Amino acid sequence: MTNTAPPSRSQPPSPSQPPSPSQPPSRSQPPSRTESAVALAGALRRIAATDRLLLALDFDGTLAPFVDKPRQARALPAAKAALDRLERMPDTWVAYVSGRPLSSLEQVTEADADALLIGSHGVELRFGRDGDSLDLTEPEKATLARLGELLGAIVDRTPGTRLEVKPVGFGVHTRNLDPDVAARTNAAAYDAAATVDGELTVRDGKDILEFSVRGADKGDGIERLREYVDATAVLFAGDDVTDEDGFAVLTRNDVGIKVGEGDTAAQFRVADPETIATLLGMLADARGERVPD
């Protein structure tokens, strides 16, 4: 259908700005809730018709409501049901994209062997039956090994510390130390890390100092998935600040949906995981009706 009609002039005025016949509406004004909902429905119909569709979804706060015990988080049943339907459709891929370590993400998503998983904010990837991909280069492996030796020695000689081995780095835990001992331990860890060849990403957290040989974000992960499945369009939804890296790599063929409050580069915003579940159901209906060429 081709719609050549001019835009309707009978739309209700925005509550925040009285109608002014002599002035077009400001482009900087956010669209009303209704317009956003209509535009989002249209975007879902459009993306449902794409040849090769990748659904990349954050987990916590997007598919699953937040719970006190992270291990007990689960996708809403309606979301899970819609994703199960979509996953079985031809030329359609479902991927979970999370800050959780891959092993944790695997557990809470109850993912099967075909699932595409991105953990640790884009550092860890699992491409279904093609296996895990961490793709550490030989220099990165050498950096990791040397870093482990040096940090291990510091932890060994500092009672109360603990070394956490991570997929691409190490965390030095100092929770049980006097503050001055913790500060000295961190300084020693920084000094040791500075002697290692290769670039390190450092995250100074609460009672933990983390060193990684690989810096990555959700945008990197989505780009890897897009390439892997040769997607013609991507739908990405997320609720957190780190999901902005994902929205940043979307193109005009893609659909980005921010869940909840906060600044975002996403085209669309919805209130909660319940709405995401509803949208996924709509998408599954629309894609199910599509007849591939």
CA-angle at 92, arms to 90 and 95, nearest 5°: 145
Q: 70 or 139, CB closer to Mg ion?
A: 70
CB 98, min distance to Mg ion, A: 7
CB 36, min distance to Mg ion, A: 21
Q: End-to-end CA distance of the chain, in Å?
A: 19
Residue nearest to Mg ion (CB): 61
Burial (0-12, 13-18, 19+ Cβ within 10 Å), 175: exposed
Residue 58 within binding range of Mg ion, rule CB under 5 A: yes
Tokens of 1: 């259908």
- Asked whether 133 and 125 are in contact (CB, 8 A), the reply is yes
Task: Please tell me whether residue 178 adopts helix, strand or coil conformation.
Answer: coil
Residue 240 within binding range of Mg ion, rule CB under 5 A: yes
Residue 239 within binding range of Mg ion, rule CB under 5 A: yes
Q: 210 or 243, CB closer to Mg ion?
A: 243
Which of the stretches 55-63, 87-95, 225-233, 283-291 binds Mg ion when contact is defined by CB under 5 A?
A: 55-63
Among 61, 122, 246, 273, binds Mg ion (CB under 5 A): 61
- Asked whether 167 and 101 are in contact (CB, 8 A), the reply is yes
Q: 211 or 247, CB closer to Mg ion?
A: 247
Tokens of 103: 């092993």
CB 37, min distance to Mg ion, A: 22
Residue 244 within binding range of Mg ion, rule CB under 5 A: no
Q: Are strands 53-57 and 233-238 parallel, antiparallel or unpaired?
A: parallel
Which of the stretches 36-44, 125-133, 210-218, 233-241 binds Mg ion when contact is defined by CB under 5 A?
A: 233-241
Handedness of CA 96, 98, 103, 108 (dihedral sign): negative
Residue 245 within binding range of Mg ion, rule CB under 5 A: no
CB 228, min distance to Mg ion, A: 22
Residue 217 within binding range of Mg ion, rule CB under 5 A: no
Task: Please tell me whether residue 191 adopts helix, strand or coil conformation.
Answer: helix
Query: Footprint of Mg ion on this chain (CB under 5 A)?
Result: 58, 60-61, 239-240
